[in-house]
Structure 1
Amino acid sequence: MKRHLVATVVAGALAFGVGEAQAATITIDSFEDGEQDVSAIRGTVLDSVTGSTNEIVGGERDVQLTILNNRFNNRLNAEVEVLPPPPSGILAISNDAGVTSDTLITWDGVDENGLNLDVTGGGMNKFFRLDILSVDLGAELTLSLDGTATLTKSLSQTFDPISVIFKFSEFENAGAVDFSNVQSISLDITGPENFDLIADSFVATVPEPLTILGSGLALGFGGLLKKEYDKKQKKS
């Protein structure tokens, strides 16, 4: 995803609000602190950044980018970016033509010291919510707690803002994890060739989905991402 396209997409979002249940919502990552730019043409690349605990739970975000396949070898790559404001913090993942990748993002405290986090917010929160601004191709998202409880969601192509919901009650092996004392959270995102994804925030919250951001914004996302998608198709 080119930076000018990302900036244009996010700038439009500032005119609209996101519904949030403030009472118990816990920010896992707002992507508004800890700028990162990780790219690879082969193998695995690791990168860690520290930031405010108000924006990054535990104060550190670890990104691991793995190239699963690169049909054109050294010519093209995959990239993961966290772009803080201005205009607004986002996570952007992009695969070039012929490249498939896996992005693993982990929050487990500074130097893996653990989170000691009550994701239920005192018993009120019922799910994790990843707010997606756009994704031009399908993807697989797996959320893991303490490396034990996991939940996988499939994400279809969409040019409209959506929320991906991970209900606490749906995690596999959920009984092995104390949701009131979670030590690590990891999100694994696998995308196909020519894949672009932009996420806005990741939280634990009560049952309230992302509000509609407005038809004008949705159409703007659609046009921009469709244009980028068409460009990639012509290159491949």
Structure 2
Amino acid sequence: MGLPRTPGRRVARAVARALTKPRPRRRVRLDNDARRAQLLEVGRKTFAERTYDEVSIDDLARSAGISKGLLYHYFPTKRDLYVAGLRATADELLTKTVAAAAPHLPPLERIRAGLDAYLDFVIAHARPFSALLRGGIGSDPEVVGVIESTRTAYVERLLTDTESTPLAVAAASEVPLVRIGVRGWLGFVEAASLEWLQLGRPDRRALRDLLIDTLLATLRTVLGPSTSGAW
């Protein structure tokens, strides 16, 4: 025979259930900048795992632990958050490659160090990198603007960050083929990086050396074979 139920036992069981029941996650109040940064990171992570069309505002709000209304306050549309994430990816890529190309290094070593940082980023952020170059939401003008501004920054960096080299002299003289050649080489770097991600080979060093050899071949064509030793 079991013990008779008493009010005290019922209260004890209720307290035990309350203590063991999972508590709902409390929403953390953040200031505007911190909240926006959090949402941006949530967006980048989510869009890295799934395509743009597979992600809903509900998914994003749930991942951030906030209401849709609060999400809309910072990013009025899913597209706004997506574009902001692409811009953050582009800025991070540019910052890391520029930082790696230390000014005390010889010109060719700066390019080699920058490419190493570029390819490291490609490996570590494969999905965001692919989304950056492929757009993800069609020919959206703002997405295209993010991509083109990044490309322009790289071209200008190559043309101005190699003082006293034939490339810098030719660029200062506004030789048209120089800019065209560098811009074309950058397109090759992007296409080769995407193909490299898909194939999973060769190793990073082999790809980097190919990219450098291609740049030097382009410059020899544009500036003449006698310029090779100047690097």
TM-score (norm 1): 0.23
Of Structure 1 and Structure 2, which has the larger fraction of its residues in strand?
A: 1
Of Structure 1 and Structure 2, which has the larger fraction of its residues in helix?
A: 2
Q: Which has the higher contact order (CA 8 A, sep 6+)?
A: 1
TM-score (norm 2): 0.23
Considering only CA atoms, is the larger Rg found in Structure 1 or Structure 2?
2
